[in-house]
Amino acid sequence: MFKDNDGHWTAFSARARVLVVNSKAQPKPDSILAYADERWRGKAVLANPLLNTTAFNLTALFDAWGEKRAWEFLNKVKSLGVKTSPGNGDSAVLVASGQAEFSLVDIDDGLEAVRRNNGIEIRYPDQGTEGLGTFMVANAVALIRGAHHPDTARKLIDYLLTAETQRKLAFSACAQTPLSQGVEVPSTVKRIEQLRVMQVNYSGIRKRLAELRPQLRAWAPQ
């Protein structure tokens, strides 16, 4: 899943999309389906759905569920009064400040919020046996056709794919998940083999987002 079928790119690490949750929340949400649950009406926040990782995460739902179910989910989310924020970091801050019960963010933004605030925690969503799995933001590298220094580029690619580089990324502030099994990670990052991962076609959702963006813009809560 983390390599292009035609060999155009390969991923070397990934950022997990996690839930930042108010520690006092009862019950605590453990799935993105919580956004469409009446129990959290008006208590959830979502980073700008038109930008970056949130947009790709939402597009992945169309890949996993199909058009009908994905729109039913998004329309329910909107009807329940979801709050929106400019970005992932802002979204995590709203949970930390008590203005929301949970949000879906990149793990690095979530960990930064946890470091700065008491009373919030991180949960990897949809980890049950029938769960959708955590959406992983794949970090990819490609060798451009006609590159002036292809040998140097190949050395860079080989370096990025080493277990040691993946370990360094896991221990860095960006909290990347190594895509090779058995790589050492800090306690705040789960290994890829410990996770139930959302199954998506990364090349496909890139194209799908371009098609969806006008519809997402019309859907986006104000």
Q: Whole-prediction pTM value?
A: 0.92
Among candidates 154, 153, 155, 192, which has minimal Cα distance to 170? 192
Q: What domains does the chain contain, in order, with CATH numbers?
A: 17-136 (3.40.190.10)
Integer angstrom CA distances of residue 51 from 13, 86, 141, 210, 213: 21, 9, 21, 12, 9
pLDDT at 16 over 90: yes
* 73-77, 133-137, 209-213: the lowest-pLDDT one: 209-213
Q: What is the pLDDT of residues 33-71, one digit of tens each?
A: 999 999 999 999 999 998 889 999 999 999 999 999 999
